[in-house]
A and B are shown apart, each in its own frame.
Chain A
Amino acid sequence: QKEVEQDPGPLSVPEGAIVSLNCTYSNSAFQYFMWYRQYSRKGPELLMYTYSSGNKEDGRFTAQVDKSSKYISLFIRDSQPSDSATYLCAMGSGNTGKLIFGQGTTLQVKP
């Protein structure tokens, strides 16, 4: 079983739709959770991070963590064509600096 599972998509939605991206994980030791966004021909960039279970909101983006279910989500409201990218979940524990990434979900938002 992979430590982190993420549906690779691709996911195609119309502009303005609410997008839900998800990851499940098996290692209960993970303490912090991140979402990275990767545009074509670019490196990943950090979008959201959180430590605890619950929701964290930043503009149109909401990160949700459910540690009891080992499940994290990223919601994008009022999606825009500029949100078209690959979204990578990542998680880590302790202070090793080691992050475990999901496979990435490719999102296309159509005008």
Chain B
Amino acid sequence: ETGVTQTPRHLVMGMTNKKSLKCEQHLGHNAMYWYKQSAKKPLELMFVYSLEERVENNSVPSRFSPECPNSSHLFLHLHTLQPEDSALYLCASSQGVGYSYNEQFFGPGTRLTVL
């Protein structure tokens, strides 16, 4: 595997379900990100982790719970979601957050549908 991988690629869940999204980066990076991409809206930054420590939490509802067990893996735990949470969830990684040039490498995303 190379780059940033995400599983599953597609997920359909009911409002009462609990599921998790997984992201893995194979680039040796120290920072990882979760973004939400909805139709006709800019990418919304949800969470930033640097060296497994959360450094940014953009007022995301508590039904989204991130976990970063190590610098290569990032999870997004989902529970009691709402239909408006249906979107493409993108994971990204970068060398670190302490760089003025911060190229972020994205995974292919998980297409989430909440029924």
Contact = CB atoms under 8 A, between A and B. Distances in A.
Interface residues of B, number: 29
Contacts of A2: 42
Contact of B100 (A32, A34, A100): A32
A43 B90 contact: yes
Contact of B99 (A34, A95, A100, A102): A95
Given A97-B31, A99-B45, A41 B103 contact: no
User: Could you say which of A4, A46, A92, A101 has the most chain B C-beta atoms within 10 Å of its C-beta?
Assistant: A101
Contacts of A45: 105-106
B87 to A, nearest CB: 14
Contacts of B101: 32, 49, 51
Tell me if B's interface is mostly helix, strand, loop or mixed.
loop
Interface residues of A, number: 29
Given A31-B100, A95-B99, A101 B43 contact: yes
B48 A97 contact: yes
A92 B102 contact: yes
Interface string B4-42: 100000000000000000000000000101000000111
A8 B40 CA distance: 7
Contact of A43 (B102, B103, B106): B106
Contact of B109 (A6, A31, A43, A104): A43
Contact of A95 (B48, B56, B98, B109): B98
6 contacts: A32-B101, A42-B108, A97-B104, A98-B48, A101-B43, A103-B41
Interface of A: 2, 4, 6, 8, 31-32, 34, 36, 41-46, 49, 51, 88, 92, 94-104
Given A43-B90, A43-B108, A101-B42, 17 more contacts: A31-B100, A43-B4, A43-B109, A44-B43, A44-B90, A45-B105, A45-B106, A46-B103, A49-B101, A51-B100, A51-B101, A94-B100, A97-B31, A97-B55, A97-B56, A97-B104, A102-B42
Interface of B: 4, 31, 33, 40-43, 45, 48, 50, 55-56, 90, 92, 94, 96-109
